[in-house]
């Protein structure tokens, strides 16, 4: 009894939607094999070179499964093998993917006894192992696919899966370190009302743009007026990379999750490739190594 899950990278925040909007990519992804085990509890093995902890309580997939097991029949056991295709710390939901893949695989082996919403709830405990915060903006799109809104986390989790039009995503990952915990420390604790108004106007516009496949509305609604200005100094070249991406035809974009990756949404694959090259030149000029991913959502 074993299942193999492809658990995708995701873009959290998606510009203006800090901690609430997210989008699943088709690549990169983690490969998570979950097998039934005669031994109750969870065993984790990593088949990659990242040297991540394999103690279930300290592993994102383990943390998620330990919570799931509290709701499963007594004596249930799972063995999990993870091959990470998503580089940890890159800003495209690496920990969320492993946690999501583990609970989706376990649920399949349990005859799908849990709803996707419950799986998001369990996987958030895995995500918390890595980031210390229970947020679902990477987990929700990793489990539901596509574009999601996390309308509420507490007291009740409320995930709203939303339709998305065809889009090509460019992700440029500069090889610098930005820890999510550090990127959350720089955030303002209060926001002037006029800035908050602009932000929720954009969130509404972005959701409407996705639902009506209005690419221009998507483009003019992506900007984040609250979080990204505070985080911009953590990513050298960000402002120039954005300028070059827009000049190359991107609809818009910003920091992916808490960074350091930067994403741009595009209508065509050709534009997405050109946008990746244009942003890459900015990081190259600063002497920063980078990787570029281009793919459809």
Binding residues vs ligand HSE (CB under 6 A): 12-13, 18-19, 131, 135, 137-138, 180, 183-184, 257-258
CB 105 within 8 A of CB 34: yes
CB 227 within 8 A of CB 234: no
Nearer to ligand HSE, 98 or 138 (CB): 138
Given the residues 170, 180, 271, 274, the one annotated as active site: 180
CB 258 within 8 A of CB 231: yes
Nearer to ligand HSE, 19 or 214 (CB): 19
In the complex, least distance from residue 218 CB atom to ligand HSE, rounded to whole angstroms: 19
CA distance 115 to 199: 32
Q: Which long-range contacts (CB under 8 A, 24 or more apart) does 216-221 make?
A: 218/251, 218/252, 218/265, 219/251, 219/252, 219/265, 220/252, 221/15, 221/16
CA distance 245 to 113: 45
In the complex, least distance from residue 34 CB atom to ligand HSE, rounded to whole angstroms: 23
Given the residues 10, 67, 76, 127, the one annotated as active site: 127
Active site residue 240: no
CA distance 65 to 55: 12
Active site residue 127: yes
Nearer to ligand HSE, 69 or 92 (CB): 92
Within 13 Å and on the Cβ side, how many CA atoms surround 289? 4
In the complex, least distance from residue 138 CB atom to ligand HSE, rounded to whole angstroms: 6
In the complex, least distance from residue 187 CB atom to ligand HSE, rounded to whole angstroms: 8
Within 13 Å and on the Cβ side, how many CA atoms surround 290? 30
CA distance 89 to 111: 33
Structure token digits, residue 45: 């093995």
Nearer to ligand HSE, 19 or 48 (CB): 19
Nearer to ligand HSE, 19 or 240 (CB): 19
In the complex, least distance from residue 17 CB atom to ligand HSE, rounded to whole angstroms: 9
Catalytic residue list = 127, 180
């Amino acid at each position: 009894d074993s299942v193999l899950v492809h658990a995708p990278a995701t873009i959290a925040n998606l510009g203006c939607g800090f901690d609430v909007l997210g989008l699943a990519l088709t690549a990169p992804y983690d490969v998570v094999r979950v097998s039934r085990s005669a031994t109750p509890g969870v065993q984790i093995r990593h088949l990659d070179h990242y040297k991540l902890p394999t103690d279930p309580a300290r592993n994102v997939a383990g943390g998620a499964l330990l919570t799931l097991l509290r709701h499963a029949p007594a004596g249930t056991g799972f063995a999990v093998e993870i091959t990470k295709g998503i580089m940890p710390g890159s800003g495209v939901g690496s920990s969320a993917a492993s946690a999501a893949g583990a609970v989706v695989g376990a649920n399949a082996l349990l005859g799908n006894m849990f709803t996707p919403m419950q799986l998001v709830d369990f996987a958030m405990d895995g995500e918390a192992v890595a980031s210390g915060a229970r947020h679902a903006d990477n987990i929700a799109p990793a489990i539901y696919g596509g574009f999601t809104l996390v309308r509420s986390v507490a007291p009740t989790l409320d995930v709203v899966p939303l339709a998305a039009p065809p889009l090509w995503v460019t992700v440029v990952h500069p090889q610098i370190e930005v820890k999510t915990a550090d990127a959350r420390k720089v955030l303002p604790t209060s926001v002037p009302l006029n800035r908050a108004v602009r932000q929720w106007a954009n969130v509404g516009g972005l959701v409407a743009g996705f639902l009506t496949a209005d690419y221009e509305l998507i483009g003019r609604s992506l900007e984040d007026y609250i979080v990204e200005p505070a985080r911009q100094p953590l990513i050298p070249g960000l402002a120039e990379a954005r300028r070059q991406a827009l000049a190359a035809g991107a609809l818009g974009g910003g920091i992916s999750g808490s960074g350091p990756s930067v994403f741009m949404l595009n209508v065509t694959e050709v534009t997405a490739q050109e946008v990746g090259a244009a942003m890459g030149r900015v990081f190259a000029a600063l002497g920063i190594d980078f990787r570029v991913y281009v793919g459809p959502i």
